Structure 1
Amino acid sequence: MTNIKKITRSRVAYHIIFWVIAFTFWLFTMFVASNFKNILRLEPVLMTFVFNLCFAVAVYFNLLVLIPALFKKQKFFLYSIALLACISLSAFFIDFLLVYPLGQFVQGDQYFGKLTFVVWFNFAFFTFIYVGVTSFLSLMRELFMLQTISFQLKDIEKEKLEAELKALKAQINPHFLFNTLNNIYSLTLDKSDKAPNLVLKLSDLMRYILYDCNDRYVLLEKELEFIRNYLELQIIRLDDRIPVKMVVKGDTARYKIAPLLFEPLIENAFKHGAYGRNNEGFVNILFDFEDKNNIELSIENRSEGEWTKERENNSGIGIKNVIRRLELLYPDKHRLEIKDENNLYKVTLQIDLSEPN
C-alpha cells in the first residue's frame, strides 16, 4: 500500500512539473513576441492559461479515455478518428476563447482577434505535439513498468524453481539414507561383519550428498564416482548374491549433470533386481557418452510380474522425484522410458546437454 501511494505521489509530481514548465515556456514566448512590453500586463498570463488548459483537456482525454478504450484494444482506426476530433475541438476552443471571453484583451491583435483557419491550424498543431509527446511518455512508462514486472515475475519463478528443486533434492537424501540405514540395521541384527564397511561407505556417500551437491550441477565424473560407491555398498550388502555390472562408454570429463539424478533409478533397479522368488536377480547399468552432447543411461534388471509391480507401487518418491526434476532442469531436452516385459525391467534415460541450462 505504501509503494502504491509513493508511485501515485511521484506521478502527480511529474505531471505538475510538466505543466509548470509548459506554462512558463508559453508565458516566456508571449513576452518575447511582444519584446517584453507586456511583462506587467494580465493578457499574456490569461492567454497562456487558456492555451495550457485546452492542451491539458486534450492530453488527459487522450490518456484516460482514448488510449484505454480504443488504442489498447487495438481499435486503431477509431482511435485515429477520435484523436483527430479531440485535437480539432481543442484548437477550436482555444481560438474561440481568445476571441470571445478574452476578446477585450486581444482587440486589434492581427493574430488572436478573430476566428481564422490559420490560427486554428496552428493551435491544432501545438495540441498534436502535446498529445503526441505525452502519449509517447505514457506508453514508454507503461512499457518500462511491464518490463520491470516481467523481470520480477522471472525472478519469482526462478526462486520458486530453485525452492522446488531444493525440496526435491532434500527428499532424495533422507529417502536414500532411510533405505541404507534399514539395510545396515538388518545386518547388525544378524551380527554381520559387513556392517562396519557399510557404515564407512555410507559415510563417503553422505559426505558427497552434504558437501558436493549444493550446486544445481556437478561434474559428471563426481556423480559417477558416487554411483560406483553406491554400487559397492549394495554389493557388500548383498554378499555378491546377484551379478551387478556397470559400464561407462565415452568421455565424461566435459560434462556437468544435476546431482543425484541417477541414484533413484539405480536404487529402484536394486529393489526389483536384487530380490525375487528364485533369487535370480541381476542389475546391468550402462552409461553411454559417445554421442556428442548427449548422455544415455540404460538400466536393466530382473522383473517378476505382479510381485515387482507391488514393490514398485510401494517404492515411494524415487521415480516421481526424478521425473519432476527432469521436467524442471531439462525441459524438452530429455526422454525417460520405462518398460516392464518378459521378466525384464528396463529404464532408458536420454538427456541433451548441447546448451547449458
Structure 2
Amino acid sequence: MSNIKKISRSRIAYHILFWVLALTFWLFTMFVASSFKNIVKLEPVLMTLIFNLCFAAAVYFNLLVLIPRLFKKQRFFLYSVSLLITISIAAFFIDFLLVYPLQSFVQGEEYFQELTFFVWFNFAFFTFIYVGVTSFLSLMRELFVLQKISFQLKDIEREKLEAELKALKAQINPHFLFNTLNNIYSLTLDKSDKAPSLVLKLSDLMRYILYDCNDRFVLLEKELDFLNNYLDLQRIRLDDKIPVQMTVKGNANSSMIAPLLFEPLIENAFKHGAFGKMNNGFVNILFNFEDKERIELVIENSSESDWSQEDKKDSGIGIKNVIRRLELLYPEKHNLEIAEVDNLFKVSLKIDLS
C-alpha cells in the first residue's frame, strides 16, 4: 500500500508541475502579445486559464478514456478518429470562448471570420501538441513501470529457481555420503585394508562437495577431477573385478558446468551395472569435448531385468533430479536420452554451452 501511495503522489506531483510550467509559458506569451495587439481586450490571465482548461479537458479525456478503452485494446482507427474529434472540439471551445467576446472590439465581419478560423486552427495545433506530449509521457511512464515490474518478477523467479536448485543439489550430498559410508562400513566389517583408502577418497570428494560446489557453475576440469576420484573410490570397492572405463575426448579448457550434474547418472550405472547380480557387469563412460561449445556424455552399463521395485524407485529419484536441474539450468539447450535394450542401459546427454 505504501508503494501505491508513493506512486500516486509522484504522479500528482508530475501533473501539477506540468500544468504550472504550461501556465507560466502561456502567461508570459499572452503578456508579450497583449503589448503588441490592441484588439485583445481580455485579461491575459483569463485567456490563459480559458484555453489551458480546454487543453486539460482534451488531455485527460485522452488519458483517462481514449487510451484505456481504445488505444490499449488495439482499436487504433477508432482511437485516431476519436482523438481528432476531441482536438477539434477543444479548439472550437477555445475559439468560441476567446473570439466571440471580441466582436464588440473588432471592426469588420470579414476580419472577424478570418481571425476566428486562424484561432481555431492554431489552438487545434496546440491541443494536438499537448495531447501528443502527454500521451507520450504517459505511455513512457507505463512502459517504465512495466519494465520495473518485469525485472522484479525476473528477480523473484530467479530466486525461486536458485532455491529449487539448491534443494535439488542438497539431495545429492547426503545420498552420496550415506551410500559411501555404507560401503566403508561393509569393508570395516570385513576388516579390509582398503577401508583407509576409501576414507581418504571420501574426504577429497566431500571437500569438493562442501566447498567447491557452492557456486552455481564450476570449472569443468574440477568436475572431471571429482569424477575421477569418484571412479577410483568405486574401483577400490569393486577390487577391479568389474571393468570400469572412462574415456575423455578433446579438452575441457575453461568451460563451466553445473556441479554434480553427472554424478547421479554415473552412480546409477554403478548401482545396476557393477554392483548388481550379474557377474559380467561393466560400466563405460565417454566424455566428448571436441566441440568447444557442446558437452557430450555417454554412459553404458550392463542392466538386470529383475530389479526390485525399490531399486527402480531409488534410481528414478536421481535421474529425475538431473532432469529437473537440466530444465532449470539449460532450458532448450540440452538433450537427455535414456534407453534400456536387453541387458544394456544407455544414457546419452548433450549440453549446449553457447
Partner of 2:47: 47
Deviation at 1:158, TM superposition (A): 2.3
Secondary structure of 1:130's partner?
A: helix
Cα shift readout 1:156-200 (whole Å, capped 9, x = no counterpart): 222222222222212211121121122222223333332222111
Cα shift readout 1:325-346 (whole Å, capped 9, x = no counterpart): 1112222222111111121111
CA separation in 2, counterparts of 1:9 and 1:145? 15
Deviation at 1:294, TM superposition (A): 2.3
**TM-score, length-scaled by structure 1:** 0.90
Alignment of 1:268-307 (within 5 A): 268-307=268-307
Partner of 2:150: 150
CA separation in 2, counterparts of 1:75 and 1:141? 21
Secondary structure of 1:161's partner?
A: helix
Moved over 4 A (4+): 109-115
C-alpha contact 1:273 1:281 (8 A) present in aligned 2: yes
Deviation at 1:212, TM superposition (A): 1.3
Deviation at 1:267, TM superposition (A): 0.4
CA separation in 2, counterparts of 1:251 and 1:240? 27
C-alpha contact 2:213 2:259 (8 A) present in aligned 1: yes
Distance 1:277 1:110, change over 3 A: farther
Alignment of 1:61-210 (within 5 A): 61-99=61-99, 103=101, 107-109=104-106, 116-210=116-210
CA separation in 1, counterparts of 2:283 and 2:107? 102
C-alpha contact 1:273 1:303 (8 A) present in aligned 2: yes
Alignment of 1:186-335 (within 5 A): 186-307=186-307, 311-315=311-315, 317-335=317-335
CA separation in 2, counterparts of 1:54 and 1:16? 16
CA separation in 2, counterparts of 1:138 and 1:67? 10
CA separation in 2, counterparts of 1:158 and 1:270? 34
Deviation at 1:303, TM superposition (A): 0.8
Distance 1:343 1:110, change over 3 A: farther
CA separation in 2, counterparts of 1:253 and 1:118? 76
The letter of the residue matching 1:13 is A
Secondary structure of 2:350's partner?
A: strand
C-alpha contact 1:272 1:308 (8 A) present in aligned 2: no
User: Which range moved further: 111-120 or 201-210?
Assistant: 111-120
Q: Once superposed, what is the RMSD of the aligned Cα atoms?
A: 2.4
More helix by share: 2
User: Which range moved further: 47-56 or 309-318?
Assistant: 309-318
Structure 2, unmatched stretches of 5+, are none
The letter of the residue matching 2:105 is G
CA separation in 2, counterparts of 1:110 and 1:326? 85
Percent identical across equivalent pairs?
78
The number of residue pairs the alignment matches comes to 349
CA separation in 2, counterparts of 1:81 and 1:318? 63
Deviation at 1:37, TM superposition (A): 10
CA separation in 2, counterparts of 1:20 and 1:278? 88
Secondary structure of 1:286's partner?
A: strand
C-alpha contact 2:34 2:44 (8 A) present in aligned 1: no
Deviation at 1:306, TM superposition (A): 2.9
**TM-score, length-scaled by structure 2:** 0.91
